[in-house]
Structure 1
Amino acid sequence: MLIQPPAYHGEQVPVPVYHPTPSQTRLATQLTEEEQIRIAQRIGLIQHLPKGVYDPGRDGSEKKIRECVICMMDFVYGDPIRFLPCMHIYHLDCIDDWLMRSFTCPSCMEPVDAALLSSYETN
């Protein structure tokens, strides 16, 4: 999963960049085996979070969140979004990138992994 894909026809394929801790940034090729395992586990947990499409409602007067607090851009009808267990929503790409650095909700600071892991225990 974290292996660099081969370059095709002389084109440079960028090596993915990961954040083993919030303050560290390293290329995938520089990660230890333990860091690769932790990142793969985190990616697996993120994929279990529900996603959807932003729909403000027919009349638009619903009291819904209208802005992604990560990028501070307004949600637009049809934007891919992800829901956290605390019920906050974000643009899919914004929150997935955030969760690769910190597994807490950027709005309420609730730990995301604790809620996910407890949902596994109750099933």
Structure 2
Amino acid sequence: FFFLTESSSVGQEQVPVPVYHPTPSQTRLATQLTEEEQIRIAQRIGLIQHLPKGVYDPGRDGSEKKIRECVICMMDFVYGDPIRFLPCMHIYHLDCIDDWLMRSFTCPSCMEPVDAALLSSYETN
């Protein structure tokens, strides 16, 4: 979900501190987040976990329409790669899209909000 760039010492071990993006342009260590930002990030993680995931299988249909590349990392999908499906039907490598969605809750291909209805129902509860 996040880049591990900072570390702190616990005894003799170096323990990585997760880095989050409260907004797409901000980067902060988990230890520097406000309570409100922590809640928003926890809600976002929960929403991401509700998006369907699967395993890439090009199947028997070798049509040209078939998506063959993750537009985030630009790498071809390989049979068995873990993938996540967005409501707009675009697919991405699981790790690529989960990291993307922690920064921006829009599809990187069509810029559609990933699920505004689900997000608003979370925020009103």
Fold match (TM-score > 0.5): yes
Shift of residue 64, structure 1, vs aligned partner:
1.1
Identify unmatched segments of 5+ residues in structure 2: none
Shift of residue 11, structure 1, vs aligned partner:
1.7
Q: Is the 8 A contact 2:4 2:16 kept in 1?
A: no
77-86 vs 112-121, which deviates more?
Answer: 112-121
Q: Kindly tell me: are residues 25 and 3 of structure 1, through their superposed partners in 2, closer, same or farther at Cα, counting changes over 3 Å?
A: closer
Identify unmatched segments of 5+ residues in structure 1: none
Q: Is the 8 A contact 1:53 1:81 kept in 2?
A: yes
Shift of residue 100, structure 1, vs aligned partner:
0.2
* 1:9 aligned to which of 3, 8, 11: 11
SS of alignment partner, residue 57 of structure 2: coil
Q: What root-mean-square deviation, in Å, do the aligned CA atoms of Structure 1 and Structure 2 show? A: 3.9
Please list the CA deviations of residues 16-37 of structure 1 after superposition, one character each: whole Å capped at 9, or x if unmatched: 0000000000000000000000
Aligned residues: 123
Identity of aligned residues (%): 93
Q: Is the 8 A contact 1:105 1:111 kept in 2?
A: yes
SS of alignment partner, residue 90 of structure 1: strand
Higher relative strand content: 2
Q: Is the 8 A contact 1:82 1:92 kept in 2?
A: yes
- Does 2:41 correspond to 1:21? no
Q: Is the 8 A contact 2:5 2:19 kept in 1?
A: no
List structure 1 runs of 4+ shifted beyond 4 angstroms: 1-9, 117-123
SS of alignment partner, residue 93 of structure 1: helix
Q: Is the 8 A contact 2:5 2:16 kept in 1?
A: no
Shift of residue 2, structure 1, vs aligned partner:
13
Please list the CA deviations of residues 65-118 of structure 1 after superposition, one character each: whole Å capped at 9, or x if unmatched: 000000000000000000000000000000000000000000000001315358
Q: Kindly tell me: are residues 117 and 20 of structure 1, through their superposed partners in 2, closer, same or farther at Cα, counting changes over 3 Å?
A: closer
Distance across 2 between alignment mates of 1:3 and 1:72: 23
Shift of residue 60, structure 1, vs aligned partner:
3.0
SS of alignment partner, residue 13 of structure 2: coil
Q: Kindly tell me: are residues 122 and 18 of structure 1, through their superposed partners in 2, closer, same or farther at Cα, counting changes over 3 Å?
A: closer
Q: Is the 8 A contact 2:90 2:109 kept in 1?
A: yes
TM-score by structure 1 length? 0.85
